[in-house]
Chains A and B, each alone.
Chain A
Amino acid sequence: MNSLAKKEEVLIMIACLIFLVGISIVQLQNLGKVNFTVLLQEIGLIVSYFIVHKILRRYYPNGDPYLLPLSISLISIGLTMIYRLKPILFLQQLKWAFVGILVFAFSIYFFRKLNIFANYKYIIGLIGVLLLLSSIIFGTDIGGHRSWIIIGSFRFQPSEFAKVFIVIFLAAYLIEHKVVLGLHNDKLGPFAMPSFRFIAPLVAIWGLAMMMFLLQRDLGSALLFFYIAVLMTYIANNNLSYICIASLFFFIGSFVSYLFFDHVKVRIDIWRNPWADPNGQAYQIIQSLFAMGSGKILGTGITYGHPEFIPEVHTDFIFSAIAEELGLLGSIAIVLIYMLIIYRGFKISLMCKNEIDALIAAGISVSIALQIFTIIAGVTKFLPLTGITLPFLSYGGSSMITSFIMMGLLFALSEKRNNIA
């Protein structure tokens, strides 16, 4: 057994300990005893973690040893909070974690052949755009977000999956056109302007983002997709003026929608002054602030707070629940775990030999960073509230599976890097 495998194993054990202890605390507090059915379910999930760990280490011994334990730590805390907040949903979320860990293993297997995917970049890009369009056009409103597709009893959020496709497509496209993109054909005032063809994907995504913003009322996803594209373009061609021009476009778009569309105006107004309507439109964000403030530094302790006052606390607002019951220490710990994942992502990206691989890994890291920034900034009223989920923590299958696909991608890239080296 090599040292990476050993390291990973110990870290997974610690992450599982958080899970076992967390669930037991909630059970002892709420039921007065440990429920053995639930204990068996917990052990089932933990066993599957270790099986996946063993198999991966057998075939891909050089992969990054931190990604899986960090993800499991977040799942442990997320499942504990879901068990505490909505016990009914616990088993379902546990199943999603189980499916997620399998998806993680499979996606590593697929992504090991990533250079083949790059050849099909237009198909991948098309799938990404179709997924986004499908949610924009056929989206159904669940819990205030019109980003759900329902097929029979099966429902999912295509925009979650679209992220992965868009990142891979952008990386392949941008690197292929890198030389041309750098050629600064035109000038517009102080800004260097490339010819249209090279910023075409950027313009397309800007259009999609504006549609999401207006039709789905989903400022968060719009912001997320747009800035993934902007930052990836910047990385590929090293031209800051893209960021400036793009941001300008985005804010012009947002400002125009603020003026002409009531629902956008309402969202922004709630953000600017939630205390104007604390029991109506701004109820959720105000309750979130109360929860966070009541947590103080050490938190009330699990089950001792009242995060249930926040509507939809188990999906969008799980961070506020953690902040209340685990305090500032808990909320900062969560942010630090995400920062470690993002850090590993960028580290993997910097070690990639292939430029496309490097840009994919960077794109994934950018995506996770922007995602946690927008949602946490939203529930803390730092930015207007948005409807995106916290990877591994929030309740929901689409988010869980997409997050594991992203981890699989990063793991595959780290393994590849080590193989070549």
Chain B
Amino acid sequence: MHNNDIKKNISKVAVFLFSLIFILILYITYIQVVNSDELVNNPLNKRTAEYSNKIQRGSIIDRNGNKLAYSEKNDKGHFSRIYPLNEKFAHVVGYENAKLGNTGVEAVYNSYLSGTDNISSKFGAIQKLIKKNNGYDVILTLDSKLQQVAYDALGNRNGAIVVLNPKNGAILAMVSKPSFNPNLINESWADIQSNSSALLLNRATQGLYPPGSILKTMILDATLRENKVTLKDTFDCPGYLKVSNDYTLFESDKVAHGKVNLQEALTVSCNTTFATLALKLGSAKIEDTFKRFGFDKKLENEDFIESATVFPNFNELTDGDLCQVGIGQGSLLITPLRMALMTSVFANKGVIMKPHLLSEIRTFDGSIVKKYSNEKWLEVTSKENSEIISGFMESVIENGTGRNAKIPGLRVAGKTGTAENAQEGSHAWFIGFAPAEDPELVVVVIVENGGSGGKIAAPIAKNIIRSALK
């Protein structure tokens, strides 16, 4: 009887111990399967760096085959990442750094560049059969020569420049200043962090600015769409507009434009006319127009990190606020990239193409892994309206505020803006495209606290257009 007791107890203890071990198996499975990705990607896990030292990271190359980033083996046998154009592509190309992580294109296309597509790492030892020694090369739509011209044209001022091809959405140049040298990111990290002017911010896609008068092109499109005003109608500009008892809108420099039609109003950038147009449209129509131009939509493109447009609260706008929106002021804040997309509506017959940086991804020996195909993003307005506005924008350059962007022998269309803001000094804006009869590039320039758009931003755009289309 005692003997049986003992055997029963032995069985119970055995079951107990096997249950403990079974729980342990479940826990091991949790670590190696569920928790695995988190552990692999933990920045303290030295394996990632070790692995990247074995594989030559792919290059980042511009549309003409110039290298923007490449990896080279140093004397110690480690790969180091080299950015031959230093500060010039710092924001858009980004940097690759084991300690600080990756940014820009280096981050977005990291799995291609590093050759560690996540799928193959699940195959265990089998993946060694298809082992690669090189990551893929990423070819961008950027034009390094144009980028350098734009970078230099901005001089030592803070601001951003976006150049794109309106026909396919390819970004040709994207500059943000002040910049930093990605080759020295480790050494200068402390300085970068303590610098008050946000060196790491890509102002072209993340900088939020009041658009100022360049937004008048969009208000014009809304007006034409509503058919409330004809091209022949005129407006009287006494130099101010009394909107309500306690608010009067003044022209800048208090000039009176006299009797103007729509074309003349845009050419001289008449605030009272556009404030009047905004009041005629009403806040609901203006909100619809912003939506029509895609300002509230995400780009569905991983190439850039974007800041979302900051809208005024359209339900609570006073007439005064509405006038402010009509001339691109008030609480409205938009990025330079979005301004470039708005401009491309008038340059590309009413259609915005999806903006993109990626042209294609190639293996080390040149076979194509992935190719970007052009895609229409939004049909914003009619071909007729876009052509009317394009014509008006030509007259801005020919006889208006954009005279400084005039290039003999080339039809340039544009619009200037001088955006008041909370800091001191207005931001100088210029949007434009050329050649006007068949636009090949859209240029957007913003100079932070630069003053007059016509005086400061327009000559920079002129430089860029001339260099690109010469």
Contact = CB atoms under 8 A, between A and B. Distances in A.
A296 B31 contact: no
B190 interface: no
A362 B24 contact: no
B128 interface: yes
Interface stretch (B8-16, B136-144, B366-374): B8-16
B10 A293 contact: no
Interface residues of B, number: 42
Nearest to B35: A293
B121 interface: yes
Interface residues of A, number: 54
Given A332-B28, A382-B24, A306 B33 contact: no
Given A290-B44, A292-B28, A304 B125 contact: yes
Interface string A368-389: 0110110011001010000000
Given A294-B47, A296-B121, A299-B124, A380 B17 contact: no
A301 interface: yes
Given A306-B47, A350-B7, A292 B32 contact: yes
B413 to A, nearest CB: 57
B341 to A, nearest CB: 42
Question: Main SS of chain A's interface residues?
Answer: helix
A294 B39 contact: yes
Contact of B21 (A236, A294, A369): A369
Contacts of A390: none
B24 A358 contact: no
A238 B5 contact: yes
Interface in B12-63: 13-14, 17-18, 20-21, 24-25, 27-29, 31-33, 35-40, 42, 44-47, 50
B122 interface: yes
Nearest to A336: B25
B126 interface: yes
A391 B21 CA distance: 15
A232 to B, nearest CB: 9
A292 B37 CA distance: 11
A358 B6 contact: yes
Contact of B24 (A278, A342, A376): A376
B195 interface: no
Interface in A330-388: 331-332, 335, 338-339, 342-343, 346, 349-350, 355, 358-359, 362, 365-366, 369-370, 372-373, 376-377, 380, 382
Contacts of B126: 298
Nearest to A279: B44
Nearest to A365: B14
Given A295-B32, A300-B124, 12 more contacts: A179-B2, A238-B8, A278-B44, A289-B39, A290-B40, A297-B33, A331-B28, A332-B28, A339-B21, A343-B14, A358-B7, A365-B17
Contacts of A235: 6, 9-10, 13
A382 B39 contact: no
Interface string B174-193: 00000000000000000000
Contacts of A306: 46-47, 50
Given A359-B6, A366-B17, A298 B28 contact: no
Given A290-B42, A355-B6, A327 B17 contact: no
A236 B33 contact: no
Contacts of A292: 28, 31-32, 39
B124 to A, nearest CB: 3
A332 B25 contact: yes
Contacts of B122: 296-298
A234 interface: yes
B19 to A, nearest CB: 11
A406 B467 CA distance: 85
A192 interface: no
Contact of B31 (A359, A369, A372, A380): A380
The secondary-structure label for the interface of chain B is helix
A335 B31 CA distance: 15
Contacts of B194: none
Interface of A: 178-179, 231, 234-236, 238, 278-279, 286, 289-290, 292-302, 304-306, 309, 323, 327-328, 331-332, 335, 338-339, 342-343, 346, 349-350, 355, 358-359, 362, 365-366, 369-370, 372-373, 376-377, 380, 382
Contacts of A327: 32, 124
> 3 nearest interchain CB pairs?
A298-B124, A293-B39, A301-B125
B200 to A, nearest CB: 26
A338 B22 CA distance: 12
Given A290-B47, A298-B123, A380-B24, A331 B32 contact: yes
Nearest to A309: B46
A148 to B, nearest CB: 28
B3 interface: yes
Nearest to A350: B7
B27 A358 contact: no
Contacts of A238: 5-6, 8-9
A372 B21 contact: yes
A279 B46 CA distance: 12
A297 B123 CA distance: 9
Given A293-B31, A301-B125, A332-B25, A349 B10 contact: yes
Contacts of B24: 335, 373, 376-377, 380, 382
Contact of B17 (A290, A296, A373): A373
A44 to B, nearest CB: 29
A300 B125 contact: yes
Contacts of A370: 17
B5 to A, nearest CB: 5
A238 B2 CA distance: 10
Interface centre among B10, B40, B42 (most CB of A within 10 A): B10
A96 B139 CA distance: 58
A300 B124 CA distance: 5
A296 B25 contact: no
Contacts of B28: 292, 323, 328, 331-332, 335, 376, 380
B125 A346 contact: no
B11 A366 contact: no
A105 B372 CA distance: 71
Contacts of B33: 296-297, 328
Nearest to B50: A306
Contacts of A296: 32-33, 36, 121-122, 124
Contacts of B14: 342-343, 346, 362, 365
